[in-house]
């Protein structure tokens, strides 16, 4: 049974602020770091219960607010295979976080234990980490109090990236099994990536350094460690690595800045040579945006859609060259935010599916393919190989040297790619592998297709929950009549496309618009925003 006295005493130290309603959204809980103490304590208990429910399998807890401003923070729970928390438990998390006081919190715990039939005598194990946000330090102690309250065995993974925490969860849970995901340590992660990368670029030296904007976040630490395992295979230059400057995190730099502003972070202005590739990570290093400056100094952005196009085409080629094209089907998953030109480029070559925003939707849809490539336009994504495909690759007997080479590359890719979740470090190495194999610079990569001009705007509304969508968020079903008005506007723009949806992470409604000409995309976005407001 629960140790009520212990829970009570600890819960009293972490009271819920009375004026806030919390919500476990697409990225877990996320708001001002200073308000999250009670949430972290309760998440600690919930993670313990989740582990008990799954018979002691290790559950992950990541404390981060990703690309959001430094004063924000957040927390999300990672399921045993390194995936996002199962959807039904998101509701349990929200319920627990909103219990107004200790008494009602304990009542909510008991309800949860009964309704989900948790056997409290089972063991519970968790592994947890945080990004570099200053508020993370005290939030981690609140989380640890939660672990203590439920009597959980907890492993502290320290300050690290979100994808590394996901890796650790999977590695711990598969340790000593035939599905072993790798050594269950941070070094094990770097070693796995480094080894696969070295094999994949062997004989294909990368000469020009790649500049990495670390967003003044945890990516700076992680890339520095990764470099020790890459040897001299790829020269990397790190920028925006100030971890102790207050307010620097994600400020005028990082992947979200690049995607939103569609320009180079000012801090890189004098550092990126013409033609040189640069990329930006976000605050927890799970998003990646590439770019380069052409000889006229013009900025070219290579976003998640461009990464998907590059990587999916390469994998399709390898599958074909290996002789497995009739058995191994590659598919791509995108969201409504994917640039229309990328969807066209990809759909001409392989199956493409559109799903609602949020990694869990993308990931689950990608699981339906033998090899599923998924990327959000904002640079979050990965590639997953079905268990059946991985087994097939392992036992397949190629009949020519060319088939054997392609097969070897595919197998090495399964090791290079962090299949649990989007991972900026792994994705960066993946991009560099493909570019090296194809002898592409940023220019050739960029010319796979030409992005349609687009504009994303936020609208603050009274109640974003009145906005409801269907068809993978591409159509509004509520408020009534609004969708017809949007379509009426869209018709008047050449190549026009626009949709409206409530954000899952901010209290806003997002409006996206595309058109053949930039000024028209802007105009369409603002006129649709006018309808929403
Ligand atoms: P919301 O706030 O629901 O639009 C944002 C991103 C998502 C995803 C989540 C989680 C856009 C338009 N939306 O979701 O793609 O990354 O945050 O971080 O980029
Ligand atoms: Zn992130």
Please write the tens of the pLDDT for every residue from 467-510.
Answer: 999 999 999 999 999 999 999 999 999 999 999 999 988 889 99
Per DSSP, what are the bridge partners of residue 332? 352, 373
Alpha carbon distance 243, 220 (integer Å):
8
Tokens 């005290």 belong to: 138
| Domain shared by 196 and 324, yes or no | no
Domain range for 474: 454-532
Compute, in angstroms, the gap from residue 290 CA to the centroid of ligand 1.
Answer: 18
The beta-carbon contacts of 482-490 under 8 Å, at least 24 apart in sequence, are: 482/531, 482/532, 485/531, 486/528, 486/531, 489/524, 489/527, 489/528, 489/531, 490/524, 490/528
CA-proximal residue: ligand 1, atom 17 (nearest): 505
Q: What is the pLDDT of residue 351?
A: 98
| Domain shared by 324 and 226, yes or no | no
**Taking Cα atoms as reference points, which of 109, 147, 112 lies closest to residue 126?**
147
Taking only the tens place, the pLDDT of each residue in 309-362 is 999 999 999 999 999 999 999 999 999 999 999 999 999 999 999 999 999 999
Tokens 């649990």 belong to: 420
Question: Could you tell me the CATH number of the domain that includes residue 526?
Answer: 3.30.310.50
* Ligand 1 nearest atom to the CA of residue 378, by list position: 19
In a domain, 175, yes or no: no
Using pLDDT thresholds of 50, 70 and 90, give the confidence band for residue 101. very high
In a domain, 171, yes or no: no
Q: Of 414, 446, 478, which residue is a domain's last?
A: 446
In a domain, 172, yes or no: no
Residue 180 makes CB contacts below 8 A (sequence gap 6+) with: 171, 174
CB atoms < 10 A from the CB of 177, how many?
8
Task: Supply angle C-alpha 428, 314, 179, rounded to 5.
Answer: 70
Q: What is the pLDDT of residue 48?
A: 98
Alpha carbon distance 344, 334 (integer Å):
12
The H or E element spanning position 487 is: helix 482-490
Q: Which ligand approaches the C-alpha of residue 508 most closely? A: 1
| Domain shared by 21 and 130, yes or no | yes
| Domain shared by 314 and 369, yes or no | yes
Asked if residue 275 lies in contact with residue 298, where contact means CB atoms within 8 angstroms, the answer is no
Question: Could you tell me the CATH number of the domain that includes residue 293?
Answer: 3.40.120.10
In a domain, 260, yes or no: yes
| Domain shared by 424 and 489, yes or no | no
Mode of pairing for the β-strands spanning 58-63 and 72-78: antiparallel
CA-proximal residue: ligand 1, atom 10 (nearest): 27
Q: What is the pLDDT of residue 506?
A: 86
In a domain, 283, yes or no: yes
* Residue % of the chain over a pLDDT of 90: 99
Asked if residue 421 lies in contact with residue 336, where contact means CB atoms within 8 angstroms, the answer is no
- Token pair of 402 as six digits: 């060319």
Taking only the tens place, the pLDDT of each residue in 250-291 is 999 999 999 999 999 999 999 999 999 999 999 999 999 999
Compute, in angstroms, the gap from residue 176 CA to the centroid of ligand 2.
Answer: 30
Asked if residue 60 lies in contact with residue 166, where contact means CB atoms within 8 angstroms, the answer is yes
| Domain shared by 191 and 289, yes or no | yes
Compute, in angstroms, the gap from residue 119 CA to the centroid of ligand 2.
Answer: 34
Q: Is 63 helix (H, G, I), strand (E, B) or coil?
A: strand
* Ligand 1 nearest atom to the CA of residue 502, by list position: 3
The H or E element spanning position 403 is: helix 401-416
Q: What is the pLDDT of residue 1?
A: 82
| Domain shared by 432 and 367, yes or no | yes
* Ligand 1 nearest atom to the CA of residue 358, by list position: 8
Catalytic annotation, residues: 66
CA-proximal residue: ligand 1, atom 9 (nearest): 358
186: phi then psi, degrees, rounded to nearest 5: -60, -40
**Taking Cα atoms as reference points, which of 43, 40, 230 lies closest to residue 137?**
40
Q: Of 404, 419, 446, which residue is a domain's last?
A: 446
Residue to substitute in 24, 27, 379 for testing ligand 1 pocket (most ligand atoms within 8 angstroms of CB): 27
| Domain shared by 441 and 476, yes or no | no
Q: Of 283, 301, 319, which residue is a domain's last?
A: 301
- Token pair of 526 as six digits: 């603002």
Burial class (CB in 10 A: 0-12, 13-18, 19+), 367: middle
Taking only the tens place, the pLDDT of each residue in 372-408 is 999 999 999 999 999 999 999 999 999 999 999 999 9
Compute, in angstroms, the gap from residue 454 CA to the centroid of ligand 1.
Answer: 16
| Domain shared by 386 and 251, yes or no | no
| Domain shared by 368 and 410, yes or no | yes
Using pLDDT thresholds of 50, 70 and 90, give the confidence band for residue 241. very high
379: phi then psi, degrees, rounded to nearest 5: 100, 10
**Taking Cα atoms as reference points, which of 15, 154, 128 lies closest to residue 62?**
128
| Domain shared by 283 and 353, yes or no | no
In a domain, 15, yes or no: yes
Residue to substitute in 250, 376, 456 for testing ligand 1 pocket (most ligand atoms within 8 angstroms of CB): 376
Q: Is 470 helix (H, G, I), strand (E, B) or coil?
A: strand
Asked if residue 264 lies in contact with residue 299, where contact means CB atoms within 8 angstroms, the answer is yes
Of all residues in the chain, what percent are helix, strand and coil, respectively (each to 5)? 45, 20, 40
Using pLDDT thresholds of 50, 70 and 90, give the confidence band for residue 533. confident
Q: What is the pLDDT of residue 505?
A: 85
Number of domains the chain contains: 4
Torsion over CA: 284, 285, 291, 292 (sign): positive
419: phi then psi, degrees, rounded to nearest 5: -80, -5
CA-proximal residue: ligand 1, atom 5 (nearest): 505
User: How many residues are present in the chain?
Assistant: 533
In a domain, 165, yes or no: no
Query: In whole angstroms, how far apart are CA 443 and each of 263, 398, 450?
Result: 17, 34, 11
What integer is the mean pLDDT of 286-310?
98
| Domain shared by 324 and 362, yes or no | yes
Alpha carbon distance 354, 333 (integer Å):
6
User: Average pLDDT, whole number, for the chain?
Assistant: 97
Kindly list the protein residues whose Cβ atom lies closer than 6 A to any atom of ligand 1.
26-27, 66, 337, 357, 376, 378, 380, 503-506, 510
**Maximum CA pair distance of the chain?**
69
Taking only the tens place, the pLDDT of each residue in 71-93 is 999 999 999 999 999 999 999 99
**Taking Cα atoms as reference points, which of 416, 381, 372 lies closest to residue 202?**
416
Alpha carbon distance 120, 125 (integer Å):
13
Alpha carbon distance 306, 349 (integer Å):
14
* Ligand 1 nearest atom to the CA of residue 512, by list position: 12
Alpha carbon distance 227, 2 (integer Å):
46
Annotated binding site for substrate: 376-378, 501-505, 510
What integer is the mean pLDDT of 97-107?
98
Alpha carbon distance 341, 352 (integer Å):
13
Mode of pairing for the β-strands spanning 278-281 and 210-213: parallel
Mode of pairing for the β-strands spanning 330-334 and 352-354: parallel
**Taking Cα atoms as reference points, which of 73, 72, 69, 506 lies closest to residue 249?**
69
Residue to substitute in 305, 474, 504, 508 for testing ligand 1 pocket (most ligand atoms within 8 angstroms of CB): 504
Helices 401-416, 304-322: axis angle to 10 degrees equals: 140
Annotated binding site: 66, 282, 284, 286, 376-378, 501-505, 510
SS (H, E, C) 404-464: HHHHHHHHHHHHHCCCCCCCHHHHHHHHHHHHHHHCCCHHHHHCCCCCCCEEEEEECCCCH
In a domain, 203, yes or no: yes
């Amino acid at each position: 049974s629960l140790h009520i006295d212990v829970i009570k005493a600890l819960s009293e130290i972490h009271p819920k602020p009375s004026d806030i309603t919390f919500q476990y959204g697409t990225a877990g809980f996320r708001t001002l770091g200073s308000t999250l103490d009670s949430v972290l304590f309760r998440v600690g208990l919930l993670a313990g219960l989740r582990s008990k429910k799954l018979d002691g399998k290790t559950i992950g807890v990541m404390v981060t607010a990703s690309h959001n401003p430094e004063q924000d923070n957040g927390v999300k729970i990672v399921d045993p295979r390194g995936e996002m928390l199962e959807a039904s438990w998101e509701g349990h998390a929200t319920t627990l976080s909103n219990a107004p006081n200790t008494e009602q919190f304990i009542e909510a715990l008991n309800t949860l234990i009964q309704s989900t039939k948790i056997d409290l005598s089972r063991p519970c194990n968790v592994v947890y980490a945080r990004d570099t946000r200053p508020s993370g330090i005290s939030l981690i102690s609140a989380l640890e109090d939660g672990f203590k309250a439920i009597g959980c065995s907890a492993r502290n993974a320290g300050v690290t990236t979100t994808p590394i925490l996901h890796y650790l969860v999977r590695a711990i849970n598969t340790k000593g099994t035939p599905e072993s995901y790798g050594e269950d340590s941070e070094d094990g992660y770097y070693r796995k990536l480094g080894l696969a990368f070295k094999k994949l670029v062997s004989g294909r030296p990368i000469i020009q350094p790649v500049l990495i904007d670390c967003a003044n976040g945890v990516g700076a630490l992680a890339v520095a460690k990764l470099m020790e395992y890459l040897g001299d295979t790829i020269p990397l230059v790190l920028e925006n690595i100030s971890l102790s400057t207050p307010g620097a995190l994600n400020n005028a730099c990082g992947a979200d800045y690049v995607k939103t502003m569609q320009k180079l972070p000012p801090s890189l202005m004098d550092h990126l040579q013409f033609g040189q590739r640069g990329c930006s990570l976000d605050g927890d290093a799970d998003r990646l945006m590439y770019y380069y400056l052409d000889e006229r100094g013009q900025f070219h952005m290579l976003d998640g859609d461009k990464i998907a196009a590059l990587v999916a085409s390469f994998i399709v080629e390898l599958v074909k060259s290996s002789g497995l094209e009739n058995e191994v089907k590659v598919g791509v998953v995108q969201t409504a935010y994917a640039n229309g030109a990328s969807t066209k480029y990809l759909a001409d070559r392989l199956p493409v599916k559109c799903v609602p925003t949020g990694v869990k939707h993308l990931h689950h849809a990608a699981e339906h393919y033998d090899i599923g490539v998924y990327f959000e336009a904002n640079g979050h994504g990965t590639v997953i190989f079905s268990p059946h495909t991985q087994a097939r690759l392992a036992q397949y007997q190629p009949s020519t040297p060319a088939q054997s080479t392609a097969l070897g590359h595919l197998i090495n890719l399964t090791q290079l790619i962090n299949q649990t979740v989007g991972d900026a470090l792994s994705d960066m190495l993946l991009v560099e592998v493909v570019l090296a194999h194809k002898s592409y610079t940023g220019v050739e990569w960029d010319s796979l297709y030409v992005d349609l001009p687009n504009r994303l705007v936020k609208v603050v509304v009274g109640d974003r929950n009145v906005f409801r969508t269907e068809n993978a968020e591409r159509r509004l079903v509520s408020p009534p009549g609004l969708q017809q008005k949007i379509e009426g506007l869209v018709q008047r723009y050449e190549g026009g496309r626009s949709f409206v949806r409530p954000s899952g992470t901010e209290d806003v409604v997002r409006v996206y618009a595309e058109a053949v000409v930039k000024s028209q995309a802007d105009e369409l976005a603002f006129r649709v925003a006018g309808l929403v407001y």
